[in-house]
Chains A and B, each alone.
Chain A
Amino acid sequence: MPTQAIEFRDVTFTRPGGRAVLEGFSLSIDRGETLALVGRSGAGKSTTLKLVNRLLLPESGTVLVDGRDTRDWEPIRLRRHIGYVLQEVGLFPHMSIADNVGIVPRLEGWPDDRIAESVRAMLELVGLPPQQFASRWPDELSGGQRQRVGVARALAIDPPILLMDEPFGALDPITRAELQREFRRIQERLRKTVMIVTHDMAEAFALGDRVGVLDAGTLAACDVPDAVASSQDPRVRQLLDALPRVPGLLG
């Protein structure tokens, strides 16, 4: 098995409208690594994720998952091999929390007791006590709790890869910080290959083992956070300069 879980090789993707979103984009993510991809809104971050689980196919170039071209993957198998946490969470409003978390195991045809066991374990993992949350409904939960359920759902059949699309974008700063801490705790334990996209450089620094900066369809930088933070590339500086400065904390 190759050491790269995800690899983009010279990928070009054009929206049906005609504008090129990715042009000659290359990136590789090691097994067990968390890569945070930062970019401005509309830079093509979500598109990048959708190319991984074959919601989209590249126009030219290849996307490899576990060393295999996504074109050669059976799409359903590929998607169940990859957990996906969506920007709008996308919980099913007609299902209880337990049913939401247990949906992929159910699709996989697991027996009921094994599904129940997995649901319990996942809810505990994301910090939602099952006896309190399992039978509740998505609209009874706060935004942060819903996002935790989204993570639990994505991890229910223990996929080796996890994609996260602006997972904490819609949350208030305190909840966001709490969930980011929680995420690092979970990731310490699970060591999944995670590709997370965000428009927030601070979040990328907080979560990523490496941080990639997406600009004009190509990778402007991709390195450990410290290296990116000291980059002199104007495309990177632009994003760094947008970070808030708290008086007395820096310099």
Chain B
Amino acid sequence: MRCRAFRACSAETDVQAVITFWSSHRAELAALLGQHVILVAISTSIAVLVGVPLGVFAARRPRVAAPMIGFANVVQTVPSLAMFGFLLPVPFVGGVGARAALVVLTLYGLLPIVRTTIAGLRTIDPAIREAGVALGMTTRELLRYVEMPLALPSIVAGVRVAAVVGVGSATIAAAIGAGGLGEYIYRGLSMVDTTVILAGAIPAALLALTVDAALLWVERQLSARRRPRASRRTAVIGVAVAAVVVVSSGLAARKAGGAIVVGSKNFTEQIILGELLAQTIEREGVPVSRRLNLGGTLICDRALMTGDVDVYVEYTGTALTAIFRQPIDSDPHAVFETVRTAYARTGRTLLPPLGFNNTFAILVRGTDARAKGLRTIDDAARESPAWRAGFGYEFVERPDGFAGLARTYGLRFPRPPLVLDLTLSYRALASGQVDVIAGDATAGLIKGLDLVQLEDNRRYFPPYDAAPVARAETLLRYPRVREAIERLGGRVSAADMRAMNYLADVEHRDITTVVREFLARLR
């Protein structure tokens, strides 16, 4: 395992840390595992119900089979994250949440099942099929008594592949808020915390192995020629065990349900702010579903629009430029008003700003800053011909991002910027792989990794005041929730935010606890 600068690094400490994490998150772990099992069980079942008849249909019509397999192959090669992206704007099946995840997982499950159904049927000895016809079987009887039983071991092999692939793909479903063990993996990635990543990855891997072994056993039972009557009892027991697992998973997963859905983007500060909203709402006695770690700005915005999410924290400048495509403006009040009006037009309410401005921070290593006397972005422009830059996906694309910055300051990097995950960029800077990045001004890692923020002396960046934005109808239904969130206005300073980010990212404190302690101090 790769060592990290600020954390003791040995296999034992990691294992211990993961076990400690599990025991302190027992209920959450059970709920996520439950969601994971349910996602895979439902999507695989649908894939079987659709895929087997499709396979039967295609096996009889070779002209249909080839294009169908081709299409399924193409679907299979679409990376799952991209597939979730495609489906975001699609009504009914798309959007964020479990439904969209089920659609994607089902599509992935279809290919192996269709293919093995076709293969299973095609490899049946023609003489056996002819015997069935000659004995006077109808097409349906032939399928029921001869073809399906003979193809079953092959079909079950396909189901096995589908289910195991499903367990893997379901971890990615956390990106669109479908829950499951992927939540720990994403949370861990955004916190750069191996413990949390492993806390999700290990049970996911064990689940995959268990599913694989269980279905392999079923496959063996079926392909064994001698099937004495007694094994029917074993089969009944197997089905009963599977049913118990799925039902109890469903019960565990249900505990995660709630009346108001709180969302967040996929980095530490957003998760903290999401948790802050969630605990604030829960204190009003209203149950909350957390869909934290939802991916980027546009996914959150879409989710808020469709009602998959009721509230999350946005930054005014981000809403202005990335969501509403308005020109950059440096006056915080003007920006807040513009954005509030734009939200109001689409049935959403921008609540009072929390009290800190999370502007983009152009960051360099502390050692460089001190050695070369770097203070402003103008200073960096001087050095830029000798530097390599690394930026997050959003910063490269956004209208208030890299292109404008380069124009404003005359940055001239010899190579185009390296595009990498925002969270990883801090570490890439600290380890010298890049020389300048665009981070968050409130990032805890700035202090943790000895990075220095350069001053935006030409006032390029618009204000990014953090403010909760909610669906208007939700606020109307829960007026006390609205009041409670409004009371947070102005109570979270930049210093508070940086401190919480530091606790989560660098000290690896549990976010729920960090937020609870912060709220306790507010009273």
State the A residues within 8 Å of B (CB): 53, 55, 75-80, 84, 86-94, 103-104, 106-107, 137, 139, 153-154
CB distance from B145 to the nearest CB of A (A): 7
Contact with B127, one of A55, A90, A153, A154 (Cβ below 8 angstroms): A90
A139 engages B225 (CB within 8 Å): yes
Quick check: A84 and B225 within 8 Å, CB to CB? no
Closest chain B residue to A79, Cβ basis: B136
Asked if B483 CB lies within 8 Å of chain A CBs, one says no
A80: which B residues are within 8 A, CB to CB? 135-136
Please encode chain B, from 100 to 140, with 1 for each CB lying within 8 Å of some chain A CB and 0 for all others: 00000000000000000000000000011011111111100
Cβ of B205 to closest chain A Cβ, rounded Å: 35
Contacting pair A93 B136 (CB below 8 A): no
Bound-state Cα–Cα, A79 to B138, Å: 10
* Complex Cα–Cα for A88 and B128 (A): 9
Q: Are B135 and A104 in contact (CB under 8 A)?
A: yes
Are B131 and A90 touching (Cβ within 8 A)?
yes
Residues of B in contact with A, size category: 10 to 19
Given the known inter-chain contacts A94-B150, A103-B145, please indicate yes or no for A137 contacting B131, CB distance below 8 A. Answer: no
- Is B149 part of the contact surface with A, judged by Cβ < 8 Å? yes
B146 at the interface (CB under 8 A from A): yes
Out of A77, A94, A107, name the residue touching B137 (CB < 8 Å).
Answer: A107
For this complex, 8 residue pairs linking A to B, each with C-beta atoms less than 8 Å apart, are A55-B134, A75-B136, A80-B135, A84-B131, A89-B131, A90-B134, A93-B150, A104-B136
Write the chain B residue with the least CB distance to A88: B127
List 5 extra interface pairs beyond A90-B130, A137-B226, A153-B135, CB under 8 A: A76-B138, A78-B136, A80-B136, A86-B127, A90-B134
Smallest CB–CB gap between B468 and chain A, Å? 63
One of B128, B136, B145 near A76 (C-beta < 8 A): B136
Q: Given the complex, which residues of B lie within 8 Å of A93, measured CB to CB?
A: 128, 150, 225
The reply to whether the CB of B141 lies closer than 8 angstroms to some CB of chain A is yes
Please measure, in the bound complex, the distance between the C-alpha atom of A107 and the C-alpha atom of B131, giving whole angstroms: 14
Contacts of A106 in B (CB 8 A): 145
8 Å CB contact of A94 from B131, B141, B149: B149
Q: Is A79's CB under 8 angstroms from B135's CB?
A: yes
> With A and B bound together, what is the CA distance between A90 and B134 in angstroms?
10
CA distance A104 to B138 in the complex (A): 11
How distant is the Cα of A154 from the Cα of B135 in the complex, in angstroms?
Answer: 8
Neighbouring A residues of B141 by C-beta, 8 Å: 107
Interface contact B128-A107, CB-CB below 8 Å = no
- Assuming A80-B136, A94-B150, A103-B145, is B131 touching A86 (CB within 8 A)? yes
Report yes or no: A107 in contact with B127, Cβ–Cβ below 8 A. Answer: no
User: Contacts A86-B130, A107-B141, A137-B225; is A92 near B136 (CB within 8 Å)?
Assistant: no
